[in-house]
Structure 1
Amino acid sequence: MKCARIGLIAAVISSAIAAPFVLAHGSTENASSKASPIYGVTMPEGYRQWQLIAPAVEGAPLNEIRAVLGNDIAIKAYKEGTLPFPDGTILTKLAWKHVQSPGFESASVPGAATTVQFMVKDSVKYKDSGGWGFGRFVNGQPVDEKQHQTCLGCHQSRVKDHDLVFTRWAP
């Protein structure tokens, strides 16, 4: 079991850092059509090069492997234990289908990419949503407004005491 966990973590980290992500390319062309509904969040340039905060595995019904990355402001806040997170913090969640490794039966590897999601901290712009703007993207395009309406409620009901952020630093 320990080898499987190590294999899973290694697969997530290497995928988060090195593998091409077919869902999003960080393009800024025609940014207004690529902004999330409600919050207007766009995909920041270079987010795939950000530092890993933590990997995660989501069980049924999503069955995903996830990696959460952060920009320099986010990483500094995590390392210093700063709450609330400062304005300018951006968190990125990359998600793939959870698949059994074809070469090592007790290990898991990322399968097909599912979504890339962002949380952007701006206490003025997003004052009505706890200081956070949310964006979910599939194939580089924002998902519909109905899906974005679920972001804030879920975060408020479950992690209100952690500035609406689920992910904890993985040392």
Structure 2
Amino acid sequence: MKNIRMEIAAVALALGACVFAAVSIAADGKPAASTSTSAASPIYGVTIPKGYREWQLIAPALESEPLNELRVVLGNKTAVDAYKKGALPFPDGTVLTKLAWKHVQSPDFEPALVPGMATTVQVMVKDSAKYAATGGWGFGRFVDGKPVDIAQHQTCFACHAARVKDRDYVFTRLAP
């Protein structure tokens, strides 16, 4: 158990370092459309928000089999404020982005896992009117900046509804 905790701590540190190395001073965090309307996700029309890599860290995660990914969730100011207040449901305008990478062993520190190849950027946008049929959330999943096919988008809400409906369909909890 101690080794697992040490590995998780090493992963969290590596993810934190990666995120903070990738970001600069926080932007206003307001959702913005992608520069290309063709980059919208099927079904929901969600795009990758401009400046999302400048948003605040909500939490890191380590995904084991079968994905073997390091993940971080970032939130815009609306999301961060809601998390800090413990406000559920999340207010309209909340945007969460999840960045994921395959994890690889650090070449500099053997016990640590660090980000390798980027795998996906996933986006959740809260708009109670626009996405009323899916708990107020719109979803987008992107690989290399392009939305994935419609079949993968059809699984987003079903998974969230089955597992975290009581938390306004959001898996990620604010890291302590």
TM-score (norm: length of structure 1): 0.91
Which string of whole-angstrom CA distances, capped at 9 and with x for unpartnered residues, describes residues 89-133 of structure 1? 000000000111122221111111000000000000000110000
Q: Which residue does the alignment assign to 1:86?
A: 91
Contact 1:115 1:136 in 2 (8 A): yes
Aligned match of 2:145: 140
1:15 aligns with 2:18: yes
Identical columns (%): 64
**Higher RCO (CA 8 Å, separation ≥ 6 residues):** 1
Structure 1 residues without counterparts, runs of 5 or longer: 21-25
The 5 Å alignment of 1:23-42 reads 28-29=34-35, 31-42=36-47
1:28 partner amino acid: S
Question: In structure 2, do the counterparts of structure 1 residues 75 and 34 end up closer, same or farther at CA, with 3 Å as the change threshold?
Answer: same
Question: Would the aligned equivalents of 1:3 and 1:107 in 2 still touch at CA under 8 Å?
Answer: no
Query: Where do 5+ consecutive residues of structure 2 fail to align?
Result: 24-31
Q: Is the 8 A contact 1:74 1:89 kept in 2?
A: yes
The within-5 A match list for 1:113-128 is 113-128=118-133
Aligned pair count? 165
Can you list the C-alpha shifts for 1:16-36, whole angstroms capped at 9, x where unaligned?
A: 23238xxxxx9833x221000
Tell me what 2:27 maps to: none
Deviations 1:111-158 (A, max 9, x none): 110000000000000001100000000000000101100000000000
